[in-house]
Amino acid sequence: MTAPACPKAMTYGPCGGVAEDGSCEVAPHPCAFLPLPTVRWPGDRVTRPGPEPRLLALLRQRPVVVADLPAVALSRGSLERCADLVAARVDAVLLGDHAAARVQFPPAYRAALVQARGVPVWQGLNCRDRNRVALEGELAALADLGVGAVHCVTGDHTATGDRPDAQPVFDLDSTQLAAAARAAGLLVSVGETPHGPPAQRRPHRLVEKARAGAEVCFVDHAGGPAELAEFVGAATDAGADVPFVACVAVATDPGSVAELRRFTGLRLPAGYLAGIEGARDPRRAGVAAAVALAEAYLAVPGVRGVDLSGVAAPGTEATTAAALAEIGRALT
């Protein structure tokens, strides 16, 4: 039951891009899913063949530290240099969409480059750029590479990026992709935006993603620990029996502060970015703020890890990776 007029042709919406007033991120009308009940996943949860993934076992043993990996798009050298900087400082790196470039190396190729540097990969995969056949091929390649996990997202629309001339695909959405990834034998994570309309139904949407095959939830920037605890508690009560990984915004210079402010629906503790922006040493202040926020998030029951979400301004990819490594070292 595809929602009428959904630009992403989603079945299991809404996506995380719904504005706080309920409007669609790209179309001039409210999100088509807002008046609809939560779409249920049909049938049983997909069974993963093979043994339990190492990262899932690690999540049960102790809190994990994941970091977004900043790198210049289409630069093997930048990707490898940044991977070397965070090696042994975090448990895995999340390779998602580039913040400023829609055209980037294919997911399995990026994963292979980073894993060759000795860094475990949590590979992001979106439904915007590939149809289901191409996505199944990427999942097969990622499984063959032995990546740590796959983060399944519907993806931003091409109209919001640097290539609005490109046709969006959206043959699948994140829930359907999660089921395909689980069937391929991979550890599967999904994201959820606690305050995205309809906020009261977001926990139930996560339950359906878990029924499809998701085993970990990355909680998008939720505000402070109290807001995070409220969402995790509501999702757990609704039946989402998964470990949660909380996204921690990392900013260490005016450029990265500006990049973070562009995030759709960004919610941070009061004064978080202003304190970094106004500090005499923004890098030191940013590292300290991220460590403190991560520790507060990890104290929330049900939260088993953090994702250091650092967006590098152009030209600062290596220095941002070094800051992420410093934060990771402080937390592990």
Band (1; pLDDT cuts 50, 70, 90): very low
Asked whether the predicted pLDDT for residue 46 surpasses 90, the reply is no
Identify the burial level of 50 via C-beta atoms within 10 angstroms of its C-beta, where 0-12 means exposed, 13-18 middle and 19 or more buried.
exposed
Band (3; pLDDT cuts 50, 70, 90): very low
Asked whether the predicted pLDDT for residue 4 surpasses 70, the reply is no
Residue spans per domain, the chain: 66-331
**CA separation for the pair 10, 8 (Å, rounded):** 5
The string of DSSP letters for 225-266 reads HHHHHHHHHHHHHHT--S-EEEEEEE--SHHHHHHHHTSTT-
Q: Kindly state the DSSP code that residue 125 receives in the 8-state scheme.
A: E
End-to-end Cα separation, the chain, in angstroms: 45
| Kind plus residue range of the DSSP H or E element containing 60 | helix 54-61
What CATH number belongs to 66-331?
3.20.20.220
Band (51; pLDDT cuts 50, 70, 90): confident
pTM of the model: 0.95
Predicted confidence (pLDDT) per residue in 141-174, tens digit: 999 999 999 999 999 999 988 999 999 999 999 9
Which CA distances in Å does 75 have to 80, 105, 110, 118, 310? 9, 9, 10, 18, 18
Predicted confidence (pLDDT) per residue in 8-44, tens digit: 999 999 999 898 899 998 988 899 999 999 999 998 8
